[in-house]
Structure 1
Amino acid sequence: MPNDAPSPDLGRTVWSVLEPIHILVYFASEAQARYATIGLEHRAMAYFASRSAAMGAVGPGPVAAAFYNFNPEVVRSVIPHAWSLASPEDVLHARSEIAEQALRRSLGPETVDSAEMREAADLARSAALAAAGLVHGRPLFAAHAGLEWPEDPHLVLWHAATLLREFRGDGHIAALVSAGVSPMDALVTHAATGEIKASFLRKSRGWSDEEWDAGVRGAVERGLVTADSEGTVSLTDAGRTLRSDLESRTDELSVEPYAAIGRKGCERLAELVSPFSDTVRAENNLPVRQ
């Protein structure tokens, strides 16, 4: 590895700092109201349509496959009906407007128009453009990489954060499939880390209590978790090793684009974006990894 090449750990740090900038469009107060204006009145419909719109008016199969650990029945309940209400182009336009409004509200005009924002946008864009040359096997990322870049720096940063997030996400799914980890195993072992509440994972991914309980039983049978009488799950040694190996493999599969800005560029990008992300997270009540 060249001296200035970022390590997988550093690439993970940059991703985690950029993540709130990306996920803002799913949690901001502006989101549901704006999607409702184009007919997407239900939160699940708005989420699945807005994240998959870059792929075009695809059916529920490709959406469920690309999103991996969401209940396919929930996807089928809203896709393709969403496309009869709003075209993918309309959805993408609304999504960009949400990013514009939410970032400007959260960060304020001085930060949005600052030199720091322009520098962060330039660095993030360089990494994202490098990722665009690595689309093989990354369908959701490739779809987003085919969209036009916005012009304003804060939207450039948001778009770059989205691209780098989906690049990592596709790599993570490849790691899960390679390791033979099912969608429910992935969710249950994630809950068992204590990083995020099981109730949030279950509800946000559309699984019923009965389906979740069955997933827990399966993970227990495979020796990945233990579960107490209240249903709280904890990782076993085998589960902890599995999670660690998966995260390491995901980091390895995700670091290549960051070579375009080098170690120092990554460190500077994380330094610049950290205060933006802290503000966005606090202003919009975003979920936090513990």
Structure 2
Amino acid sequence: MNAGMNAGTVAARRAWRRLEPLHGMIYFVPEAADRYAKLGLTGMSGYFASRGAAFGRASADLVIATFYNFCPDLVRRSLPAAWDVVTPEQMLEARVEAAAEALRRAGVHELPHLAETLDLARRAAMAACDHPQGRPLFAAHAALPWPDDPLQQLWHAQTLLREFRGDGHVATLLAEGLTGLEALALHAAGGEVPVAFLKISRAWPEEEWTAAEARLQDRGLMEAGALSTAGHALRRHLEDRTDALAMAAYGALGEDGCERLAELARPFGRRVVDAGLLSLGR
């Protein structure tokens, strides 16, 4: 446990990490891509429109601001043109239906303790709804109606928790003076995600990526293409601060509730991973 973190925060982080595959898979599964394609959107257009649809007819600038780390030119190739092809309501419906179909393909609906897992995740998500200030992407999703299907409800709950945490993470990056591109380069230097995937999926020109790395090196955060001691310390601080900001949601469960959610979430996340619903192919 890092200094300054209490047991409740550690349990909350564990709960989020273990259940996060249930949300994250929506960006990779064919069930989503196929539905978006039938509506007329392919590739990154489907991604930006489906996640941004909670805002309504989101502009490119709004998505650039809230998604934070994508090359602006990439976003502008998709938005607002996507809204000439499809409505936000169509994308939202396609997204939640795709999520349920993919999770059923993985057999998530057959796992025991679905009702209890949903209850805990929904309680945390509803607590987050009391704290929308400064969290625009979360607030947009929180304004959406809850689905009727329990599996869709679980996906929606984790989606709210993911966007709540994500907005807090963006606030932390801003406070530390990191641009979206610099945050990507710092993350890549940590070696947890393939650099090639981050470069391709976020579409930053190589010269801009190199310039961002140079700025990080000037700040003493990188050395020879890897994180320096100061860089590792900053990464830990960013994650710890993000965890602390997420406690506005998970704190409603208490330490015992977070531990229970973390325990229950393990087989759910594992089922998604084992079924191949997560892939770095996009």
Please report the TM-score for the alignment, with normalisation by the length of structure 1.
0.91
Aligned mates of 2:108, 2:266 — CA distance in 1: 16
2:124 corresponds, among 127, 132, 154, to 127
Which SS does the other structure have where 2:275 is aligned? Answer: helix
The TM-score, its normalising length taken from structure 2, stands at 0.93
Instruction: State yes or no: 1:95 paired with 2:95.
Output: yes
Structure 2 counterpart of 1:16, one-letter code: R
Percent identical among aligned pairs is 49
Does the C-alpha gap of structure 1 residues 58 and 225 become closer, same or farther in structure 2, counting only changes over 3 Å?
same
Partner of 2:19: 18
The alignment's C-alpha RMSD in Å is: 1.6
* Counterpart contact for 2:135–2:164, Cα < 8 Å: yes
Displacement of 1:259: 1.9
Give 3-state SS (helix, strand or coil) of 2:223's partner. strand
**1:204 pairs with one of 201, 204, 223:** 201
Structure 1 position 285, deviation (Å): 4.9
> Could you say which residue in structure 1 is the equivalent of 2:3?
none
Q: Residues 125-164 of structure 1: matches in 2 within 5 Å?
A: 125-164=122-161
Q: Which amino acid aligns with 2:235?
A: R
Give the whole-Å Cα distance in 1 for the aligned partners of 2:64 and 2:148: 31
Structure 1, unpaired ranges of 5+ = 228-232
The alignment covers a number of residue pairs equal to 275
* Inter-CA distance 276–44: structure 2 relative to 1 (3 Å threshold): same
Distance 1:56 1:235 in 2: 39
Counterpart of 1:86 in structure 2 is 86
Q: Output the CA distance in 2 between the equivalents of 1:149 and 1:6.
A: 31
Q: Which amino acid aligns with 1:180?
A: G
* Aligned positions of 1:34-49 closer than 5 A: 34-41=35-42, 43-49=43-49
8 A contact 1:30–1:98 mirrored in 2: yes
Q: Are the equivalent residues in 2 in contact too, given 1:6–1:258 (CA < 8 A)?
A: no
Task: Determine helix, strand or coil for the equivalent of 2:77.
Answer: helix
Q: Which amino acid aligns with 1:181?
A: L
> CA distance change for structure 1 residues 264 and 173 in 2, over 3 Å: closer, same or farther?
same
Contact 1:57 1:83 (8 Å CA) reproduced: yes
CA contact (8 A) 2:12 2:262 kept: no
Q: Is the 8 A contact 1:55 1:143 kept in 2?
A: yes
> Which of residues 235, 238, 250 is equivalent to 2:242?
250
Q: Is the 8 A contact 2:117 2:265 kept in 1?
A: yes
Rounded to whole Å, the distance in 1 between the matches of 2:41 and 2:262 is: 35
1:213 Cα deviation (Å)? 2.1
Give the partner amino acid of 2:19. L
CA shift, 1:7, in A, is 2.2
Distance in 2 (alpha carbons) for counterparts of 1:6 and 1:216: 35
